[in-house]
Structure 1
Amino acid sequence: MTLPTKMQAMVLTRHGDLDAYAWHEDWPVPVPAAGDVLVEVGATGLNNTDVNTRTGWYSKAVTQATTGGAYAEVGEEDPAWGGSPIHFPRIQGADVCGRVVAVGEGVDPARIGERVITDNWLRDADDLGNLDKTGYYGSERDGGYAQFATMPGRNALAVNSALSDAELATFSCSYSTAEGMLERAHVTAADTVLVPGASGGVGGALVQLAKRRGARVISMASEAKHAAVATLGPDRILPRAPANLRGALGDERVTVVADITGGPQFSAFIEVLERGGRYTCSGAIAGPVVDLDLRTLYLKDLTFTGSTVIGPQVMPNLIRYIEEGAIKPVLAATYPLRDLRAAQTAFIAKEHTGNIVVIP
């Protein structure tokens, strides 16, 4: 195909509110460098990293819950996920599904035409396991909020599936984040896993992937979303914020809490863990600053794990699960890329159950 030289793109110009985005009709189509592929974007999923990076929420100067709006103070030195600045202008959007339309030097031209989804973690080719040499697609380099995007060839993973581009664009962030959490917590069929925020993209993925491991799963979500959450197969569904979590659980023995919410319920999550239990966290949308009684941590022999950078084997495993039909997408809504601001507004307000995707 003859590739255009200009494209439509939604470009982030600074940290701030939704007006930090600028729509362009004539942004240059990127050229794949050595080792890169050029992907014609079919769909790109939204995730919390996009919102939090836009607003600068990752800065330690921000102590409140994710709001999606501008904050009064954002540290200049630590506004992105890695605790360092990013460069503007930046095209965000990590969760890409599309087709390879060109390749850079050193990439097999036979890859042209491949349908791919992204592995979002940008690793050092010579040191794949080094967390300090890891970046995030759409943060440390331009991503998929555009008609075309380049990425390292190793980050464009071939997928053979009857699912739509929009459905496939729900997997890269939500499901890899969830699988990374479950791996860090060593979840097995012997566990009972409590999943707060089960109606969101990561929460829904946690339910499915924990069930795939054979675990018993107790999800938490607002009652209006219980019917949708039930389709994911949890063993029980509790209200989003019961006044007495221990009482709501009854005789359940929770061995793992897989949490992306944090906030005022954090202490209750820790209190209900069994002795020797594990708490794993990959988000704090309800608030990043929490109360912890250290006596609970050490007297109950608990293990806490943070989970951000996933291992390089996670996405290939997820591709296999997708192709086998072992996991299903939870696509809540699609928006035109031009309407990214409206899509993020709906995402932040949790208007939908599952993932939101934008289409160029």
Structure 2
Amino acid sequence: MTGTDPAAEATVTTTEVVLPGKVEASGLRLVQRALPQPAAGQVMVRVESTAVSFAESAMRRGRYYGQPKFPFVPGYDLVGIVESAGPGVDPALVGRRVAALTKTGAWATVVLLAAAELVEVPDGIAADEAETLVVNGITAYQMLHGRAKVRGGQTVLVLGASGGVGSILVQLARQAGARVIGTASPRHHEALKALGAEPIDYRDPDLAARVRKLAPGGVDAVFDHLGGASVDLSYRLLSHTGTLVSYSIASKLDDKSPVLLSFLVLLSKLAFWNYLPTGRHASFYDIWAGAGKPGSAKREAFLIRTRTDLSHVFGLLRDGGLTAKIAARFPLAEVAAAMELSESANRTALGKIILVP
């Protein structure tokens, strides 16, 4: 009879939110299953905070390009405490608060993750505050400084300025010394003014004229999450050397056309504009661009970039340069209500919707 290590065989029970197929938010299911102890290079993380984003709304409809086959556990990012570490992982990581960009799988109470893909959260930052910055902070920072290269004295237009990404874009742009025009529901205008933005009603039929009145020479950058016809307007609002950064196709969420076709149409349009003899530039931002396969040199470079940028944004939050904007908090068991709020045309709060396992 050969001996076995009881600790190696021990399992931990996790509660997960499962998306079984194309269902309404009420069709999400809570299930429990056993997790083994971490394998080599892995850690077990007790999730403290995760969130609802546009990606999950698209996945629920089967309209997120590259999503897994149903059923699966959604959840784009998380913040939690490392409870145990597998072979080859620095044991000092146990007990630390970490963040992870997951794309799927974060809507759970306990998860297994590759230790190499974690970013440590600085002391003094609460879990739900850190959660507001994981995917949204990386996205906003890389678009603003990597793609648009916004500088002091420039004017930028942020569509959906009250959202999770938009509210961080506003703060980062103001910190860079840029003037910010932001579209949002009137109920959020005072909050946007407090962040230093000049708000415009996103439903205003004269939105373009109002932007041109504020920026007669055009804006230096537009950040557009809507896609579709919106990018045409965004491009026309640019200055002669302006930059359009498109980063989602939210306007196509309930469209019946194939999602790949919607992306191809958008990408073709952006590419065509870049061939025109103007000083303008247009691009599509994807947080996973260049990620490569696990273990590859591309993945290592992607992880270094992600860790560097998120650590910088965490530092801004810790030092008071950013304010965490939390729209609402829901227990994981009330994920359906959280999604319904996220997808509501009249969001009642500004920022990110947090799920608390």
TM range (shorter): 0.7 to 0.9
Shift of 1:265: 3.3
Shift of 1:88: 4.2
Shift of 1:299: 4.9
Per-residue deviation, residues 16-70 of structure 1 (Å, max 9, x unmatched): 432552211x321353222121111111111111221222113xxxxxxxxxxxx
CA distance in 2, matches of 1:337, 1:216: 38
What amino acid maps onto 2:178 in structure 1?
A
Show the counterpart of 1:337: 332
Shift of 1:276: 1.6
Cα gap change, 1:345 to 1:95, in 2 (>3 Å): same
Q: Give the conservation status (yes or no) of the 8 Å contact 1:331–1:354.
A: yes
1:115 to 94, 97, 117: 97
Task: List aligned pairs for 1:174-253, cutoff 5 A.
Answer: 174-182=136-144, 183-234=146-197, 236-249=198-211, 250-252=213-215, 253=218
Secondary structure in 1 matching 2:243: strand
Cα gap change, 1:352 to 1:264, in 2 (>3 Å): farther
State yes or no: 1:173 paired with 2:132: no
Per-residue deviation, residues 60-89 of structure 1 (Å, max 9, x unmatched): xxxxxxxxxxxxxxxxxxxx3x3xx51444
2:283 to 298, 305, 308: 305
Secondary structure in 1 matching 2:137: helix
CA distance in 1, matches of 2:91, 2:274: 57
1:319 to 293, 314, 324: 314
Provide structure 2 residue ranges, at least 5 long, that are not aligned to the other structure. 1-6, 253-261, 289-304
State yes or no: 1:282 paired with 2:279: no
Task: List aligned pairs for 1:84-95, cutoff 5 A.
Answer: 86-95=68-77
Cα gap change, 1:328 to 1:295, in 2 (>3 Å): closer
- Report the more deviating stretch, 283-292 or 347-356: 283-292
* Number of residue pairs aligned between Structure 1 and Structure 2: 313
Percent identity over the alignment?
28
Larger Rg over CA atoms: 2
CA distance in 1, matches of 2:36, 2:228: 40
Shift of 1:267: 2.4
Q: Give the conservation status (yes or no) of the 8 Å contact 1:95–1:170.
A: no
CA distance in 2, matches of 1:157, 1:87: 28
Which ranges of 4 or more aligned residues in structure 1 deviate by more than 4 Å?
288-297
Show the counterpart of 1:69: none
Cα gap change, 1:104 to 1:296, in 2 (>3 Å): closer
Per-residue deviation, residues 249-307 of structure 1 (Å, max 9, x unmatched): 31513010011123443322211111121100111212356796967972543211111
State yes or no: 1:357 paired with 2:354: yes
State yes or no: 1:44 paired with 2:39: no
Q: Give the conservation status (yes or no) of the 8 Å contact 2:231–2:246.
A: no
CA distance in 2, matches of 1:206, 1:49: 18
1:34 to 24, 36, 40: 40
Q: Give the conservation status (yes or no) of the 8 Å contact 2:44–2:111.
A: yes
Q: Give the conservation status (yes or no) of the 8 Å contact 2:11–2:37.
A: no
The alignment yields a C-alpha RMSD, in angstroms, of 2.5
CA distance in 2, matches of 1:222, 1:197: 9
Q: Give the conservation status (yes or no) of the 8 Å contact 1:44–1:95.
A: yes
TM superposition score normalised by structure 2: 0.80
Higher helix proportion: 2
Secondary structure in 2 matching 1:286: helix
TM superposition score normalised by structure 1: 0.79
Secondary structure in 2 matching 1:327: coil
Show the counterpart of 1:155: 117
